[in-house]
C-alpha cells in the first residue's frame, strides 16, 4: 500500500492580522514540527504574501477559496493564477462555510476544483454532512454526492486531499468520535476504490476536520483511514503544534 504522508491543514478563516501572524510564525518556528507531517495553513488572501514571508518554510500557505476562471470581471474574487503568482500552491475548496454561508453548490465547487487543478494548484477538497442529514441517516449519501461531483473533475489525484468535515462538528466544540470519523473515512476510501481506482483509494489522504484540538487529536490520528486533520480554531493557537505532532 502506498505511503500516505500525514497531513495537517490549518484554516484561519476570516481571522488574523499581521501581528497575530507574527505570533503564529513564532510558535511554529519554535515548535519541533514533525518532519513526517505535511503542513499547510489556509490564510485570508490579503495576508497570504505576508504569511509566506513569515512562516517557516516547511509550513505552506494556502488560499481558502478561489474562482473558476483565470481572470475577468469577477469583483473580489481571486484566481488560481494569482495564488500561484504570489508563491502558493494550495487552495481549500468546498469548505462548509462556503457551501452553507455563501451558497456554493456542488457544481460550482467541482468547477473550481477542475480549474485549480488545471492551473497546477493542490486542492484540499471539503465534504461533510449537516446535523439534520446525519440524524436522518443521510451521511453517506451526502458525502458521496459531494465527493462524486468533485471526483468527476479530478485530473490528478496526487494533488488532492479530501477533508471530511461534518458540519455539526465545525467550530462547535463537538468533535466526531474517532469511530464516527473512521466510519466515514473508510466509506470514502471505498468510494474512491469503486469509482476511481485502487491506487487512488490507497494513496489519497482523507483528513478529518471539526473541533480538532491537542486533547483529541491523538486518538483520532490512530484510526487507520484518518490521514491527518483540517483544523480551524486551534490552528491559531500554540496547540496547533501538538496537532501537527499527533502521530508522535
CB of 93 to ligand PEP, least distance (A): 12
| Annotated catalytic residue within 38, 95, 115, 239 | 95
Query: Which three cell numbers, joined as nine digits, stand for 67?
Result: 474562482
d(CA 38, CA 59): 8
Q: Report how far apart, in Å, the C-alpha atoms of 114 and of each of 109, 124, 192, 198 are.
A: 9, 12, 17, 22
Q: Note the helical H segments in the chain.
A: 18-30, 48-54, 80-85, 96-100, 106-118, 131-135, 139-151, 178-195, 198-203, 217-221, 239-244
Mark whether 95 is an active-site residue: yes
Distance CA 90, CA 61 (A): 7
Helices and strands in the chain: count of H runs, count of E runs: 11, 8
**Is 165 among the residues known to form the active site?**
yes
Tell me the residue nearest to ligand PEP as measured from the CB.
Answer: 232
Looking at the Cβ atoms of 228 and 233, the one nearer to ligand PEP is 233
Min dist CB 42 to ligand PEP, Å, is 8
Task: Record the cell numbers describing residue 103, joined without a space.
Answer: 451558497
Q: Is 104 in the site for ligand PEP (CB under 6 A)?
A: no
- Tell me the closest approach of the beta carbon of residue 177 to ligand PEP, in angstroms: 15
Catalytic residue among 97, 104, 165, 239: 165
CA-closest candidate to residue 33, choices 247, 244, 248: 244
Q: Which three cell numbers stand for residue 180?
A: 464516527
Task: Based on the shown chain and the rule CB under 6 A, indicate whether residue 209 belongs to the binding site for ligand PEP.
Answer: yes
* b/e map 117-127, b = 16+ CB within 10 Å: bebebbbbbbb
Q: Smallest distance, Å, CB 180 to ligand PEP?
A: 15
Residues 3-32 close enough to bind ligand PEP by CB under 6 A: 11, 13
Contact between 165 and ligand PEP per CB under 6 A: yes
x/- map, 216-245, ligand PEP, by CB under 6 A? --------------xxxxx-----------
List 58, 136, 171, 222, residue binding ligand PEP (CB under 6 A): 171
Least spacing, CB of residue 48 vs ligand PEP, in Å: 17
Dihedrals φ, ψ of 170, to 5°? -85, 115
Which residues form the interface with ligand PEP (CB under 6 A)?
11, 13, 165, 170-171, 209-212, 230-234
Q: Which residues are marked as active site?
A: 95, 165
Amino acid at each position: 500500500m502506498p505511503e500516505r504522508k500525514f497531513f495537517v491543514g490549518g484554516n484561519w478563516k476570516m481571522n488574523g492580522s499581521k501581528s497575530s501572524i507574527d505570533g503564529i510564525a513564532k510558535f511554529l518556528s519554535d515548535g519541533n514540527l514533525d518532519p513526517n507531517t505535511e503542513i499547510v495553513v489556509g490564510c485570508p488572501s490579503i495576508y497570504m504574501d505576508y504569511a509566506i514571508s513569515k512562516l517557516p518554510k516547511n509550513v505552506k500557505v494556502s488560499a481558502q477559496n478561489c474562482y473558476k476562471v483565470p481572470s475577468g470581471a469577477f469583483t473580489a474574487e481571486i484566481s488560481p493564477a494569482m495564488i500561484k503568482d504570489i508563491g502558493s500552491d494550495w487552495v481549500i475548496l468546498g469548505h462548509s462555510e462556503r457551501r452553507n454561508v455563501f451558497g456554493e453548490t456542488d457544481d460550482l465547487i467541482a468547477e473550481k476544483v477542475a480549474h485549480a487543478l488545471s492551473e497546477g494548484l493542490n486542492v484540499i477538497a471539503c465534504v461533510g454532512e449537516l446535523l439534520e442529514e446525519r440524524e436522518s441517516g443521510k451521511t453517506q449519501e451526502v458525502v458521496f454526492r459531494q465527493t462524486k461531483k468533485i471526483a468527476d473533475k479530478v485530473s490528478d489525484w496526487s494533488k488532492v486531499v479530501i477533508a471530511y468535515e461534518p458540519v455539526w462538528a465545525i467550530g462547535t466544540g463537538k468533535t466526531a468520535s474517532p469511530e464516527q470519523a473512521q466510519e466515514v473515512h473508510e466509506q470514502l476510501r471505498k468510494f474512491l476504490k469503486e469509482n476511481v481506482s485502487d491506487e487512488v483509494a490507497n494513496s489519497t489522504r482523507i483528513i478529518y476536520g471539526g473541533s480538532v484540538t491537542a486533547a483529541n487529536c491523538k486518538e483520532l490520528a490512530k484510526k487507520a483511514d484518518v490521514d491527518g486533520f483540517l483544523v480551524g480554531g486551534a490552528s491559531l493557537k500554540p496547540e496547533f503544534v501538538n496537532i501537527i505532532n499527533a502521530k508522535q
